[in-house]
Amino acid sequence: MAIFGLLMPVLLICFNIGQSCWSPEDFVGASSPGDIVIGGLFAIHGRMLHSEEKPLKPVIANCAGFEVQVFLQSLAMVHAIEIINNSTLLPGIKLGYEIYDTCAEVTRAMAAALRLLSKFNASKDLVELRCNYSDYMPRVKAVIGATYSEVSMSVARILNLQLIPQVSHASTAEILSDKVRFPSFLRTVPSDSYQTKAMAQLIHKSGWNWIGIIATDDDFGRLAVESFGLQAMANNVCIAFKEMLPAYLSDSTIHGKINQALEKIVKETRVNVIVVFLRQFHVMKLFRKAIERNINKTWIASDNWSAGVKISTIPNISRLGKVVGFTFKSGNMSSFHDFLSNLHSTPIGNNMFLREYTLLMSTCSHMDDQDLSKCISNYSLDTLMQNRTITSSQQWREEFLIANIEPGFIHSTMLAVHAIAHAIRNQCKDRNCRDPYAFAPWELLEELKDIKFTDNEREVYFDSHGDINTGYDVLVWKEIDGRMVITNMAEYDLEQDDFIFADEEDEIEFMNLKNVQSKCSRKCHPGQVKKVSASPHTCCYECISCPENYYTNQSDMDYCILCNNRTHWSPVSSSTCYKKMIQYLNWNDWFAVLLLVLSALGIVLICAVIIIFTRNVDTPVVKASGGLTVCYVILLCHFLAFVSTGFFIGKPKPYKCKARQALFGISFALCISCILLKSLKILLAFSFDPKIQKILKCLYRPVPIASLCTGAQVLICVVWITVRSPFVEENSSIRRVIILECNEGSTVALGIMLGYIALLAFICFICAFKGRKLPENYNEAKFITFGMLIYFIAWIIFIPVYTTTFGKYLPAVEIIVILISNYGILSCTFFPKCYIILYKQEANTKSAFLKMLYNYSSKSAGNLSVNQSSLDSKSGTPPVPRTNACCKTKGDKNWLNGSCHFQASGYEEMRGDVPPKTLTGPAIPRRRLSSI
C-alpha cells in the first residue's frame, strides 16, 4: 500500500493532466492487436493546455478536461469489436483497434490522422508520398470518428488521399454529405439538415417565431446556423440574434463572449426560446453563468448536448427553464450495461483512457455523483498532488458510468463498428483476410457504400450521401424529486417529417410547449392580419383589422380573404363571411302597404267617378267631357296605371319585370292621347280664329290620332321586350343584403318610353295652355294644364331621385311618381266635374250653359269686331265678311240663313231662348254656338 501511495504521484506526473506525448507510441490512447485494425478518433478530453496564448514551437500540447460521455463512446467501440470477435460474423478473423484522443482540436486530430496513414508494419511511422495509393497499405483499414464535425472535416481531407473509410458516429455537419469534397466520409447519424428541419418544425408547432441562436464559431456552428436559418425561414420563424462562441475553451475571449451572449438574452425580453449549437463544455460554462444571472428560458438542445448528464447535474439547473432537445435514436443498451458492470475485470494496460479514469475516480472518490463530473473535468496537477487521501484500490463507480451514458452516441458508435465488420465480411468471402494485405482500404470503402445489414430488426444502409438516417428522439428535461431527469417525449420520423408520440401523455406534454410565448409581436386573432412594421424581420408586425368584406379565419394570417361579394359579406375585423339576406319590396312592408292603399284608393275613386258619370250621362258636364266613351277610356287607363304599381311590389319575377313598365307606358300613353284629343276639341270649339280652325278641323281625327299615339308606344315596348327584355337581377352592391330587383334591360328603352309620354304630355300641355281663357264652366283646358304640370314636376324630380336611390325601396320611387302623375291628372280631369255634378247642380243645366256660352261668345265677337274695324280703318278698304274655311257652298249643312256657323264633332246643338237682357250689344253677324 505504501509503495502504491509513493508511485501514484509519479504516475500522475507522467500523465500531466492528460497524456504527455513523449513518443508516437504514447500518442495512442488505447489499442489492441488484430488481423484487421480499425482506427478511432474520440475527443476524450475537452481542451488542450497551451503554455502561451499563441504557440511559438511546433509541439503537440497536453490535454485536460476528461469527458466521461466521450470516454464511454470509446468504450462502446471496444465493446462492439469484442462482440464481433466473439461472434461468427468474421470467423477466423480478429479485429484490432487503435484509438486516439483528439482533445476536441483539429491540430491533435491531424497528428493522429498522420499516424493512421503511416505504412503498415514499417519500422518507423512514415507516410510515403505516392502518385497512386491503390496498393498502399496503411496501419488501419478504416477509421471511426471523429466526435466533432470540424475535426472530421479536417481528418477526412487527409484520409481522402488514400480513400480510407471514415465512419463518424457523431459528426452531423451538412457539408459532410458532399461526396465530391468528402468521398471517403460516411456516418451512422443523420445530417444536420434533418436536425435543423426538426427543430424548425418543433418551434413552428409550438407557436414560436422569435428565437435566438448561440453556436460555436467554427465550421460546425456556422453551417448549423446557416441550415437552421433556411429551415426557420420556411416555417416563418425569425432569428432575433445570433451569438457565436469560440470553438475552443483555450481561447482567452470565451468568457467575454459568453457574457456578451447572456447580455443579449437579457436585453431581448421577447425572446424566450434559445437554440443552442454548442459542445458540452461550452454549455456547462454558459449555463453556470446563466444560473448566476437568474435567466429563465426555453433551451432547444442540439444532439451534441441534449442527453448530457453532466450538464443536467449542474446545481440549480432547473432555474434555467425548460430544455427540449434532439438526440440520435438508440438501440438496446443492455449488453453495454453488462460490459460496464464488468469493466473492473478488464485489463487496463493497453488503455490509457481507462487507466486515467480509475485514477480520477480515486482522486474524486469523496464526491457525490452531482459534483463528480465537475471534479473529473476540472482536475489539475496541483489538486492531485495536494490530495493525500488517494487509496490504492481502483474506483470504478459503474453506476456513475451507466448514468452518464448517452444512448444515441453509444448506439451510433456500435453501429459504425458493425457496418465496417459487415463490409469486411463481404470483402473476405474469397480472400484470406488474416493477411493484412488481402485488400486495400479503398476497396473496403466501395463495399461500405453498398452494405446492408439488420439492426434491431431494421434494415440499415448508407444512402447516396453516405448517411444512415435513423431519425431522432425528442428529449425533455424534467425535475423529479429534486433531480433533473432526461426523458423521451417523442420521436421525429425523417420520412414523414412529423413527430410520433408513444402515448397521449407525451403528446399533451408536447402541446404544452405552446404555453411558452416567444414572439416578436402579439398574436393576431381571427379578423386581423399581420402588417410588417419597420423591422427587417417578417415576424415583427402590427395587427390591423381586415376591412369590410374581408376576413381571416385563423390566427397570424398574412392576408385577408375576400368574401364572395355576390352572396356573402363581412364587417370590419370579421373572422367569417355572413350570408347576405335577400331583400325586395315585400307585400308586408309598411311602405309597400301604404303605396298599395294609395293605389287602391285611386281605384276606388275611379269607380266612384264612373258611377257619378254614368248616373249623370245626360248632363251638360258629362257631355262637355267628351261623352262616356272617352271618359271610360281615360278612367280605364288610370285604372291600369294604378294596377301596374302592384307589379313593382313583391318578389320580382320575369313576367312582372316585363309587364310593369309596358303596362304603365301603354296605358299612360293612351290616357294622354285621349286628353290630347279633348284639348284639340276644346280649341276647335272655342277658337274664333279661322286659320286655327282650319288647321284643327283638318287634323282632328280622334280615333286615328289615339291609335297612332298609343300604337307608337306599343311598338316601343314590343321592341324593348324583344331586343333587351327586362330580367330579374340580384344586386349585390349593398353590403349586407342582396336586393332582388328588376333590371330594365335597357335604360335607353326605358328613357325612350318615358320620353315619348313626356312628348305627348308636352303637346297636350301646349294645346291646353292655348285654351286656358275659355268659359269657366268649360275651362277644362286650365285643369288639363295643371295636370300636365303636375306630371312634369313629378317626373322631373323622379330622374335624379331614381338614379341616386338604391336598395329595396327603389321600385317605390317609381310607384310614387306613377301615383302622383295618376292622381294629378285624375284630379284635374274629373274631380272639378264631379264637384259641379254633386255640389253645383244649378250650373249643370242647359240654360246655365247657354247663358255662359252667350256671354263668352258675345264678348269674343265684340273683340273680333273691334279688331276687324281697326284693321279696316288702317287699310282703307271695306270689311270683307269671313266665312268658315270648311263652308264652301251654301248647300253645306253648316250654312244657315246666309251665315256660316260651326259645330265641332261630338257637340250637339242646344236650342233655347236666351233672355232679352243678355242680347244687348253691338249688331254683329251672329254665329250659332253649340254646347259641349
Q: Which residue has the cell 290620332?
A: 705
Which DSSP helix (H) or strand (E) runs through 399? helix 398-403
Contacting residues for 294 by C-beta, under 8 A, at least 6 apart? 319
Which amino acid, 809? Y
| Rounded alpha-carbon distances, angstroms, from residue 855 to 570, 772, 914, 918 | 76, 17, 11, 8
Assigned C-alpha cell, 875: 287699310
Helix (H, G, I), strand (E, B) or coil at 543: strand
908 DSSP β-pair partners: 931
What is the structure's pLDDT at 693? 67
Let me know if 699 is exposed, middle or buried by CB neighbors in 10 A (0-12, 13-18, 19+).
exposed
Q: Give the C-alpha separation, 350 to 33, whole Å.
A: 10
What is the structure's pLDDT at 371? 74
What are residue 728's phi and psi, to 5 degrees? -80, 135
Q: Which residue has the cell 249643370?
A: 844
Q: Give the C-alpha separation, 864 to 429, whole Å.
A: 147
What is the structure's pLDDT at 14? 38
| Ramachandran assignment for 549, one of left (phi > 0), alpha (psi -120 to 50 degrees), beta (any other) | left
Contacting residues for 618 by C-beta, under 8 A, at least 6 apart? none
484 DSSP β-pair partners: 479
Q: Which residue has the cell 275659355?
A: 774
Catalogue the E-assigned strands of 319-408: 321-328
Q: Give the C-alpha separation, 197 to 661, whole Å.
A: 70
Q: Give the C-alpha separation, 441 to 424, whole Å.
A: 10
> Percent helix, strand and coil across the chain, each rounded to 5?
50, 15, 35
Nearest to 775 by CA among 893, 665, 857, 666: 857
528 DSSP β-pair partners: 545
Note whether 167 and 186 are within 8 A (CB).
Answer: yes
741 DSSP β-pair partners: 729
Note whether 750 and 661 are within 8 A (CB).
Answer: yes
| Rounded alpha-carbon distances, angstroms, from residue 603 to 117, 637, 673, 831 | 118, 11, 21, 14
Q: Give the C-alpha separation, 331 to 63, whole Å.
A: 32
| Ramachandran assignment for 898, one of left (phi > 0), alpha (psi -120 to 50 degrees), beta (any other) | left
Helix (H, G, I), strand (E, B) or coil at 211: strand
Which DSSP helix (H) or strand (E) runs through 742? strand 737-743
What are residue 582's phi and psi, to 5 degrees? -85, 125
Q: What is the mean pLDDT of each run of 10 residues along the chain (932 residues)?
A: 35 39 70 94 84 70 85 95 94 94 90 90 78 90 92 94 94 92 95 93 92 92 92 91 86 89 94 94 92 94 90 90 93 90 83 87 76 72 45 64 90 95 92 88 94 89 92 92 90 90 92 91 87 77 90 88 89 91 90 93 93 86 77 91 91 91 91 84 64 68 85 92 90 85 89 90 82 58 84 88 84 91 89 85 73 64 50 43 39 36 37 39 38 34
What is the structure's pLDDT at 50? 65
Q: Give the C-alpha separation, 932 to 914, whole Å.
A: 17
Assigned C-alpha cell, 667: 296605358
Helix (H, G, I), strand (E, B) or coil at 142: strand
Q: Give the C-alpha separation, 42 to 30, whole Å.
A: 11
Q: Give the C-alpha separation, 428 to 434, whole Å.
A: 9
Verify cis geometry, omega within 30 degrees of 0, for the bond prior to 146. yes
Q: Give the C-alpha separation, 29 to 74, whole Å.
A: 10
Tally DSSP H helices, then E strands, for the chain: 28, 29
Helix (H, G, I), strand (E, B) or coil at 728: strand
Assigned C-alpha cell, 842: 244649378
Q: Give the C-alpha separation, 742 to 654, whole Å.
A: 8
Q: Give the C-alpha separation, 769 to 575, whole Å.
A: 65
Which DSSP helix (H) or strand (E) runs through 230? helix 219-234
| Ramachandran assignment for 18, one of left (phi > 0), alpha (psi -120 to 50 degrees), beta (any other) | left
Which amino acid, 67? E
* Residue 257 Cα to chain centre, angstroms: 41
Cα first-last separation, the chain: 159
User: Does the predicted TM-score (pTM) go above 0.75?
Assistant: no
Q: Give the C-alpha separation, 478 to 490, whole Å.
A: 14
Q: Give the C-alpha separation, 742 to 726, whole Å.
A: 7
Note whether 380 and 404 are within 8 A (CB).
Answer: no
Note whether 172 and 191 are within 8 A (CB).
Answer: yes
Contacting residues for 164 by C-beta, under 8 A, at least 6 apart? 116, 117, 138, 140, 141, 142, 143, 184, 441, 442, 445
